[in-house]
Chains A and B, each alone.
Chain A
């Protein structure tokens, strides 16, 4: 237990960037996750209920029995409820795409590092090719072929981002696959799958966790960006990116529509990035 608290201290308590303890950011992330999971219990109203008498109401006003704490949007929907439900979209797209791209990328990367020969050439060339197209453009061209929507966004993000994991998994596997314990396992007759997933994977998880954390923040931004451009999750589903795009059209009359979803997006990405930074500094003390 003491080891755990010591780890916790080193990770999150010492003077963090800007003097704010990093624990604050863990708390923000945890709060957003809880809000996303229990959205139906927390949200004061249905996020999709329109109220044409209560359009574009500023924060803290009431119209037709609905109290708009954060104001209402162009269709009179409660902004607070939409922001709360938006957390669901952001987090679920990010979690699913990180899991999917991680699974594909790590498997391919480990295979390339372990098997060598043509597998290595094919996989690593593919990685180079994917990484030489700016990610957002690759995502846009795939969405324009497949069409927008929740599932396609997750698929496209996974297809776009797997090379990141593959590259790290490849390098780590290369470094580790000649270690005596790996050779021993092989000599004792362990098949390649057993060696890869039982002996190599657990020992390369730490750097991959850092990649996954930083990618998580990026995935949140990507989903919001695609939705902002109208290529992501489609209306009426509440997505922070789509809400920002509506808010963009009402900057001069209704500042709140863009401000609050943007703030949540910012806090989520900021806390994930800071936690990722912390994690990488902790796992790699030389970089400090």
Chain B
């Protein structure tokens, strides 16, 4: 157990270190990163002063070590456009993105799971095939299109929901659905294959032979036993949803990290973009780490075999 844990932890650390290095190199793709940091109105004297004060006139190796040291202290720098610490800016937006991701995950789970169950149990019916088509269709729908369509129908024509912005629970509904539709298909597919897998097992057949009704079988055995893969896929979905939030937040003017990313790129506020990218990578790496560890706790074969 502990060897597996240490190995996996080591891999995660290497990945985090690598991501930081990658971002460092991306910064320098155009040569001098000072130009990425200054507002468009800055004069040449400002630029030179900033370059010196940030140590960007020093050798690359020194810059790299300084950069890593800052990151290790969780110091993501200061936005020169807004004159506020990046950590502070990110923290002010984070709750919105968490709300949205949570809402989307809920939508995906609450719709995806029953759909997957239905597709597994009634797989011989034509209607089920149609359902599968709808699910696949939802997955291919670009969020910025489905979002706009929802705004048109529910926001503008029917006036049921506020078309965009934030402030109340009703503002959260449409963005959550738009974002959740993407993951819903994944959940439905995983649930379907996992339930089909479980249905072919001996204990189900013997339960049927004992005369257990279908409803009881599904409620007591099938769902519980096929939940493990469904839950473990959630770890991967969370990082997908965080990425998808960039577009959904822009469509619905939802003031989370995604909108912040786009605004920062437009305002040429590179430090903030860099902070969000690093945060996104850290979240992805740690969520995967946690998922792998949880998985190995649930299924001891993974620990023994070494690879998930």
Residues of A within 8 A of B (CB): 15, 17-20, 125-126, 128-130, 132-138, 140-146, 217, 221, 224-225, 228-231, 241, 244-245, 247-248, 251-252, 255, 258-259, 262-263, 265-266, 269-270, 273-274, 277
Contacts and interface: CB of A to CB of B under 8 A. Distances in A.
Interface string B133-174: 110110111101100110110011000000100000000000
A15 B125 CA distance: 12
B60 interface: no
Nearest to A148: B265
Given A17-B136, A128-B11, A262-B148, A133 B262 contact: no
Given A18-B134, A134-B242, A137-B280, A258 B11 contact: no
B132 A248 contact: no
B148 A133 contact: no
20 contacts: A17-B129, A18-B129, A19-B126, A19-B129, A126-B18, A132-B19, A134-B240, A137-B276, A229-B262, A241-B144, A248-B144, A248-B148, A251-B163, A258-B145, A258-B149, A262-B149, A265-B145, A266-B140, A269-B141, A270-B140
Given A128-B15, A129-B15, A273-B136, A141 B163 contact: no
B277 A137 contact: yes
A142 B29 contact: yes
A137 B26 CA distance: 12
Interface in B253-304: 261-262, 265-266, 268, 270, 273-274, 276-277, 280-281, 284-285, 288
Contacts of A137: 243, 246, 261, 276-277, 280-281
Contacts of A230: 262, 266
A140 B261 contact: yes
B144 A225 contact: yes
A133 B22 contact: yes
Contact of A229 (B22, B151, B156, B250): B250
Given A15-B129, A132-B15, A133-B277, A224 B142 contact: yes
B239 interface: yes
Contacts, number: 160
A262 B145 contact: yes
Contacts of B139: 273
B247 A229 contact: yes
A251 B129 CA distance: 33
User: What is the interface of chain B mostly: helix, strand, loop, or mixed?
Assistant: helix
Given A265-B145, A266-B140, A251 B156 contact: yes
Contacts of A130: 22
B222 interface: no
A18 B133 contact: yes
B219 to A, nearest CB: 28
Given A140-B246, A229-B250, A18 B132 contact: yes
A259 B261 contact: no
B284 A132 contact: yes
Contact of A132 (B148, B268, B288): B288
Interface of B: 11, 14-15, 18-19, 21-23, 26-27, 29-30, 36, 126, 129-130, 132-134, 136-137, 139-142, 144-145, 148-149, 151-152, 155-156, 163, 239-240, 242-244, 246-247, 250-251, 261-262, 265-266, 268, 270, 273-274, 276-277, 280-281, 284-285, 288
Contacts of B163: 251-252
B185 to A, nearest CB: 10
A133 B284 contact: yes
A225 B248 CA distance: 10
A145 B27 contact: yes
Contacts of A244: 142, 144-145, 148
B247 A225 contact: yes
B148 A251 contact: yes
A145 B29 contact: yes
A266 B145 contact: yes
Given A18-B132, A143-B265, A135 B142 contact: no
Contacts of B29: 142, 145-146
A274 B152 contact: no
A166 B274 CA distance: 26
A36 B281 CA distance: 37
Nearest to A129: B18
A248 B152 CA distance: 9
A134 B281 contact: yes
Task: Tell which of A15, A129, A130, A137 has the most Cβ of chain B within 10 Å.
Answer: A137
Contact of A266 (B21, B129, B141, B266): B141
